Structure 1
Amino acid sequence: METARRHDIDWLRVIAIGLLLIYHIAIVFQPWALFIGFIRSDELLEGLWKPMSLINVWRIPFLFFVSGMGVYFAMQKRNIKQLLLDRSKRILVPYLFGIVAIVPLHFLLFQNYYNQPLHYFAHPAHLWFLGNIVIYISILFPFFFQLIKKPEGKFRRSLEKMMRNPLGPLAILPFFILEVLLVQPDVFALYAQTLHGYAIGFLAFFFGFLMVYIGKSFWQILLKWHWLYLALALGMGLLRISILEAYFTNALMAVESNLWILGIFGLGYKYLNRPSKSLSYLSESAYPIYIIHMFVLYAVASWVLKLSLDPYLKFALSVLLTLAGCLLIFELIIKRIPLLRPLFGMKYRRAQKAKEI
């Protein structure tokens, strides 16, 4: 089983949250942005949606896989009580705080931009992801602890044996195919607060845990075959967004999604499993940035969209300013104020120590 810190998983989590930020900014320039509560540009960039569509089938399931892996590592030095307390501090507290204090900000910015009456009702918005994780941990922690107690049990040995050939990792595919066949989502990439989102997130979270529970045999096979998984995923993705989109079933998208995920994990394991100062900083800042990025995005869009610039420049400027704004808020406020740190999933530190970071 994996016990050492996995820097590649930390890197991939940071990259995935960065892609999420870019993805949400791209929505601002799509004709349907208003339908899902985003500020919309009058000048559209529908061409942006082609690359975003390649990302969309795997970006959220990928984060659930990573979250499952994170729970595995959190369990290595904690008993049941300590794990539940730790995850409550890290996930439940920011989730509830976000609904009360963060989500209202981008709701109000949206209403102000469109001169609507200002009002707010409790809503998780983009923080729905955290609510899902709370549910998954509550359901799965007894099973996970049983696995941890038997590191060399029959179940793990069977999984390890399965991972000795390139088809081993693909054993997850039938579960994700079955999910879409049973749930029958109207849109595969519609994850937020849908039955499909709960179900696919549950599977990804569960298998993410198993991926690190199995140990090196799983990662060695990914290391050897990740280019094949990525080539197949890219081929399917290009066919989907070019000529066969109308014929691509949810089952095919489930296959494509997991091929991307397996390939990316293999790529990360090969090239990113090393520490760095940049990773230490970005890994700490990624979670708070995820929590605050929507209201920063809406604030930036409210200003940038009124400028007389080429729409592609507006998009680039929105990305730059949203990222810069999030980093400044993290660096100057969240990171420095001890009482705020736990509200954003960070460890509490006294003011003196916070200033030394």
Structure 2
Amino acid sequence: MKTERRYDIDWLRVIAIGLLLIYHIAIIFQPWAMFIGFIKSDESLESLWKPMTMLNVWRIPLLFYVSGMGLYFAMRKRNWRQLLLERAKRILLPFLFGIVAITTLHMFIFQEYYNMPLGYFPHQGHLWFLGNIFVYVLLLLPFFYYLKKNGNGKIKRVLLWLMSHPGGPLLVSLFFVLEVLLVKPSLFALYAQTWHGFVIGFLAFFFGFLFVYSGKTFWQTVLKWRWLYIGLAVVMFGIRYFNYATEAPGYLTAIESNCWIFGVFGLGYKYLNKPSKILTYLSQAAYPVYIIHMFVLYAGAMFILPLEIPILLKFVGIVAFTVLACYLIYEFMIKRIGFLKPLFGLKWKSNNAKKLMKMYNLKIKDSSN
């Protein structure tokens, strides 16, 4: 079954990972950075955190939504065994490799920066996201394949009806409200390796799949009502910022989070659903960059923070260092060294290998003729 390529979803994944880099670098300049395992600047740039408080309630849920959507597209031409094998290669292998070989690198840099005894500590670190995704795939695969086999069933018809109204997507927020009322997270944006992060990720992954499964109806709704969702998000962020010092009750933040995301989906569908060479490159690079970015930005912080330059230049310098170093590592190591590709979530067979296989098959056909 042939379906159109959704370039806007690819763009949103790239943008979300780019924002993640900026967000993590901004943490370095907050007075509490060291308490969550980040290298901390002696000078604070707390004004930088103001826009981050808007971003941090929807950046991770957005990635989970997009991941659920990606699973829908991955299922189109695969049975459940093929899909599990493909997800194990693309998610589980980089996750396990990252625990033993990647997260330990930024821990070494952290220890070196603070003159601590060097020790080897395998841990999930920022890769907890991958572990969650793989568990969601295992848990939801039977139901998703049931939906695939019943493409015009009652569930599909109910979804089409719900998603045809502007309030349909907003009803999804009720599940996120229920999550925060039951799990009661201390901070809404505290996702990493918490039950709150696991459940909210599960919900976003699940509904991300359902949104794409429902067809164009959802996308036409968020396209038409995108400014309504963004307007609601802005109002709720204003209430959270001015009335609650950025930490509003979880049920309000859950609704705000989804309003931002639905608005972003609408904007992406209108402006980003077009192919480009830049997108082709960035969409392939985004996953490996996500895996390596933490130890790269720690290295940048180690070299740049001691410099006697204005603090804003330090921030800009670490951003530039991280982007450039990630590009060089991806372009000249991960992308070009065959055995590294699967360890960073890239396809096992290179384009050159595919070309050789085609040439080989053509030769066999010619010889048989």
TM-score, scaled to structure 1: 0.97
Distance 1:350 1:274 in 2: 25
Partner of 1:16: 16
**CA offset digits 1:146-189 (Å, max 9, x no partner):** 00111111110111011221111111011000000000011110
**CA offset digits 1:249-272 (Å, max 9, x no partner):** 000000000000111011100100
Contact 1:336–1:351 (Cα < 8 Å) also in 2: no
Partner of 1:333: 333
Please identify the structure whose Cα radius of gyration is greater.
2
Distance 1:273 1:349 in 2: 27
Distance 1:59 1:277 in 2: 25
Describe the shift of the 1:351–1:109 C-alpha distance in structure 2 as closer, same or farther (beyond 3 A).
farther
Partner of 1:280: 280
Partner of 1:270: 270
Distance 2:86 2:194 in 1: 27
Range moving further from structure 2, 31-40 or 113-122: 113-122
Describe the shift of the 1:247–1:114 C-alpha distance in structure 2 as closer, same or farther (beyond 3 A).
closer
Contact 2:187–2:247 (Cα < 8 Å) also in 1: no
- 1:101-250 aligned at under 5 Å gives the runs 101-245=101-245, 248-250=248-250
Secondary structure at 1:168 match in 2: helix
Distance 1:27 1:275 in 2: 34
Distance 1:329 1:36 in 2: 26
- 1:243-262 aligned at under 5 Å gives the runs 243-245=243-245, 248-262=248-262
Contact 1:337–1:351 (Cα < 8 Å) also in 2: no
**CA offset digits 1:235-293 (Å, max 9, x no partner):** 21123223433772000000000000111011100100000000000000000000000
Deviating beyond 4 angstroms after TM superposition, the runs of 4 or more aligned structure 1 residues are 350-354
- 1:16-35 aligned at under 5 Å gives the runs 16-35=16-35
Contact 1:2–1:212 (Cα < 8 Å) also in 2: no
Distance 1:165 1:257 in 2: 19
Structure 1, unaligned runs of 5 or more: none
Contact 1:338–1:351 (Cα < 8 Å) also in 2: no
Contact 2:38–2:110 (Cα < 8 Å) also in 1: yes
What residue identity is the alignment partner of 2:240? R
Distance 2:247 2:44 in 1: 26
Distance 1:195 1:333 in 2: 36
**CA offset digits 1:290-342 (Å, max 9, x no partner):** 00000000000000101111111110111111011001100000000011000
Cα RMSD between the aligned structures? 1.6
Displacement of 1:2 after TM fit?
9.3
Describe the shift of the 1:94–1:246 C-alpha distance in structure 2 as closer, same or farther (beyond 3 A).
closer
Contact 2:64–2:208 (Cα < 8 Å) also in 1: yes
Partner of 1:344: 344
Distance 2:137 2:28 in 1: 33
1:76 matched to 2:71? The reply is no
Partner of 1:298: 298
Contact 1:222–1:262 (Cα < 8 Å) also in 2: yes
Displacement of 1:213 after TM fit?
0.3
Partner of 2:49: 49
Range moving further from structure 2, 345-354 or 73-82: 345-354
Distance 2:194 2:62 in 1: 17
What residue identity is the alignment partner of 1:293? H
Distance 1:310 1:57 in 2: 30
Secondary structure at 1:339 match in 2: helix
Distance 1:329 1:51 in 2: 29
**CA offset digits 1:92-133 (Å, max 9, x no partner):** 000000001111100000000000001122210000000001
Partner of 1:99: 99
Q: Percent identity?
A: 63
Structure 2, unaligned runs of 5 or more: 357-369
Partner of 1:38: 38
Distance 2:156 2:246 in 1: 41
Secondary structure at 1:182 match in 2: helix
TM-score, scaled to structure 2: 0.94
Contact 1:160–1:217 (Cα < 8 Å) also in 2: yes
What residue identity is the alignment partner of 1:278? I
Contact 1:14–1:282 (Cα < 8 Å) also in 2: yes
